[in-house]
Structure 1
Amino acid sequence: MHQALKYISGYPEQVVAQISQIVDSGKFVPWFEQRHPSRHQIKSEKALFDFTLEIKNRYMKKTAPLSKVVWDNKIHLINNALGLHSYVSRVHGSKIKTKNEIRIASVFKDAPEALLRMLVVHELAHIKEKQHDKAFYHLCCHMEPHYHQLEFEGRLFMIYLELNNAK
């Protein structure tokens, strides 16, 4: 099995075999580029914050505010993750203040917009649902109806990056 297929190792055998066949034929990179011909233009952290806030305000108005959304160069290597959500609660007198931060792996600076949106939706869902349970995925699908397909394609994007960088 090709090393890049580690990103889809938890998927059914026939799915992995199908992707493996495309990788082994050398056609994966052009296939992926044809499937996702364009990339988003959200390069600055302000643009990323605005993009995330727009989704949050549309689907999660009553949740705690976001204090920061940033691109992170180290996230993929250190945490074996593509995005992180962190929160800190502090008591100020009789009030509790919560700071929510989202970090998105910098490799997604050049991703198709749908894949960035899927990742942002995933991290936003953690504001309300901390665990990856039924309620969490229900919320993800509420914000992004094609969430599960895009999550799979986000894994394919990681394979694409690995194969494209190996050229």
Structure 2
Amino acid sequence: MTTLNYIAHYPEHIQTQAATLISSGRLGEYIDKNYPTKHEIQSDKALYQYINEIKNQYMRKSSSLSQVSYNSKLQVLQRALGIHTYQSRVQGSKLKAHNSITVASLFKEAPLEFLRMIVVHELAHFKEKEHNKAFYQLCCHMEPSYHQFELDTRLWLQWREL
């Protein structure tokens, strides 16, 4: 039986359903049926515009977005799919914030919903640094289907690994 690394912390009934899809060879079919189209956001510039639109829609008053990029080494090095970095600097009498988001390059090949889930997750870190109840409430405010997209993203990653 395949080890379900990406959904190991999910309840047993979800792991059982995923294992059934994998063993019957229908996991790819499930993903293709529910997420048939891939997105066109392939460059760092397009990614910046996409993230900035979401940020301005839901988090207009938060500090500005300084840098956005895809990174091909992200998942391998840090076992992460996206990273949000934050630095505060004193410039004269003002405190300047530098927020950057890095997304794993494998999301260039993903459905838009999976990219959106990663983006929403990293944007939520602008306000909530820890993965707590307020953090997940903010994620669900920006993307009501956040939890389903997260599960399906993990299933997609598992399918890619097979």
Report the TM-score when normalising by structure 1. 0.94
- Residue matched to 2:147: 148
Q: 2 CA distance for matches of 1:16 and 1:129?
A: 29
Q: Which runs of 5+ in 2 are unaligned?
A: none
Q: Secondary structure at the match of 1:114?
A: helix
What amino acid maps onto 2:49 in structure 1? Answer: D
What amino acid maps onto 1:16 in structure 2? Answer: Q
1:121 aligned to 2:120? yes
1:35 aligned to 2:34? yes
Deviation by residue 1:111-133 (Cα, 9 ceiling, x = unmatched) = 11011111100000001110001
What amino acid maps onto 2:2 in structure 1? Answer: H
Deviation by residue 1:55-83 (Cα, 9 ceiling, x = unmatched) = 00000000010111100111101111100
Q: Which runs of 5+ in 1 are unaligned?
A: none
The alpha-carbon deviation at position 30 of structure 1 amounts to 2.1
Q: 1 CA distance for matches of 2:106 and 2:120?
A: 17
Aligned residues: 162
> Alignment identity in percent?
50
1:104 aligned to 2:103? yes
- Residue matched to 1:2: 2
Q: 2 CA distance for matches of 1:32 and 1:147?
A: 16
Q: Secondary structure at the match of 2:149?
A: helix
The alpha-carbon deviation at position 135 of structure 1 amounts to 0.9
Q: 1 CA distance for matches of 2:48 and 2:124?
A: 16
What amino acid maps onto 2:56 in structure 1? Answer: N
Q: 2 CA distance for matches of 1:67 and 1:82?
A: 19
1:69 aligned to 2:71? no
Q: 1 CA distance for matches of 2:59 and 2:26?
A: 40
Q: Secondary structure at the match of 2:87?
A: strand
- Residue matched to 2:133: 134
Deviation by residue 1:5-24 (Cα, 9 ceiling, x = unmatched) = 21011111111111101111
Give the ranges of 4+ consecutive aligned residues of structure 1 lying more than 3 Å apart after TM superposition: none
Q: What root-mean-square deviation, in Å, do the aligned CA atoms of Structure 1 and Structure 2 show? A: 0.9
